[in-house]
Chains A and B, each alone.
Chain A
Amino acid sequence: MALSASKLKVGDAHTARLVEDLKRTQIVQYAGASGDYNPLHTDEVFTTKVAGYPSVFAHGMLTMGMTGKMLTDYVGDARLTKYGVRFTNQVWPGDTLDSTATVKAITERDGVKVVELDVSTVNQNGVVVVSGYAEARVDD
């Protein structure tokens, strides 16, 4: 269901749980689907002994992809026009992530109503792991 500009107001927020107790296998699953087989995400021996991290960690793009589900569930299918993020902290196996889109502005471009959103995904400690924005076409 698409959003309506007339029913939206600045500050409206939509929150969704993205994942609970992120499994290492999901990280591997993302590696296989995306084609990013970086051992930092899939190879505990390499990541701990060579790279010097405490364990493998999620692709930033996995968190961006999971956050994308929160967005498309909110704005509707095929409605996004822009989506961008910064990866502010790593996501580790076992993390639980919640993501929020907050209405920043409702504007009009080329006769089409557009909602601008702030996007933030946090882990179980409240640390922001992804911070960004999105824009989507909305109905009048």
Chain B
Amino acid sequence: MAAKSFPVEASHILMFARSVGDDNPVYSDAEAAKKTEAGGIIAPPTFAQSSAQFDPDYGLRPKIGQPWFGSGKEPTGIKREPGGRGGGGGGGGLHAEQHFEYHRHLKPGDVLTATTVPGKTWEKESARAGKLVFSESVTEYRDQNGDLVITARGVGVRTERPVDAKS
């Protein structure tokens, strides 16, 4: 995930908290949040992942005027453009791990930059999905003062075939 400018906004935090089923007022109610230890609205712990919204090259968002690999009335046959992270179809990529280290918690008004560097890659054989190719990436989120606020490490996996569900 790379973003030159990821403005952290209260309305985005509200929508994100709703989507993960979290009704804690510290994510939505400025007055109530003032009375908490946080001292005001903060973002939930996994919010930084929504920097995808501000990554101009993020491959899992339909872009105006460009082909999209999802279906219309029927499948389009369009292959997902390679290079993007975080998933794909037809025995493609899935999210295997995600790690966050919080130097401080995000709050509305922060304007972050996100820079990602690739990490290790490794392979593993799996009974449920064939050959697995793992690749790691490390994203540093810095605030408007250049201070490191969150370090995120993600691991994606490309599978040889769709994963068999364990019941």
Contacts and interface: CB of A to CB of B under 8 A. Distances in A.
A36 to B, nearest CB: 5
B141 to A, nearest CB: 14
Contact of A81 (B16, B36, B101, B166): B101
Interface in B86-124: 86-92, 94-102, 105
B19 A34 contact: yes
B69 A39 contact: yes
Nearest to A134: B45
B19 A46 contact: no
A87 B45 contact: no
B75 A30 contact: no
A100 B154 CA distance: 22
Contacts of B70: 37, 39, 42-43, 46
Contact of B50 (A35, A49, A69, A78): A35
A92 B165 contact: yes
Contacts of B62: 37
Nearest to B60: A38
Interface of B is mostly: loop
A47 B86 CA distance: 15
B145 interface: no
B104 to A, nearest CB: 8
Q: How large is the interface on A (under 10, 10 to 19, 20 to 34, 35 or more residues)?
A: 35 or more
Contact of A69 (B44, B60, B98, B153): B44
A50 B89 contact: yes
A50 B45 contact: no
B52 A36 contact: yes
A77 interface: yes
B37 A64 contact: no
Contact of A61 (B53, B90, B95, B105): B95
Indicate the member of B19, B24, B44, B162 with the most A CB atoms within 10 Å.
Answer: B19
Contact of A35 (B26, B58, B97, B162): B58
Contact of B162 (A26, A46, A51, A69): A51
Interface in B11-70: 12, 15-16, 18-22, 24, 26, 36-38, 42, 44-46, 49-54, 58, 60-62, 69-70
Interface of B: 12, 15-16, 18-22, 24, 26, 36-38, 42, 44-46, 49-54, 58, 60-62, 69-71, 74-75, 86-92, 94-102, 105, 153, 161-163, 165-167
20 contacts: A2-B37, A29-B19, A32-B15, A33-B12, A33-B19, A34-B52, A37-B62, A39-B69, A40-B88, A45-B71, A61-B95, A65-B45, A72-B45, A77-B42, A80-B45, A81-B101, A84-B153, A87-B95, A89-B165, A127-B167
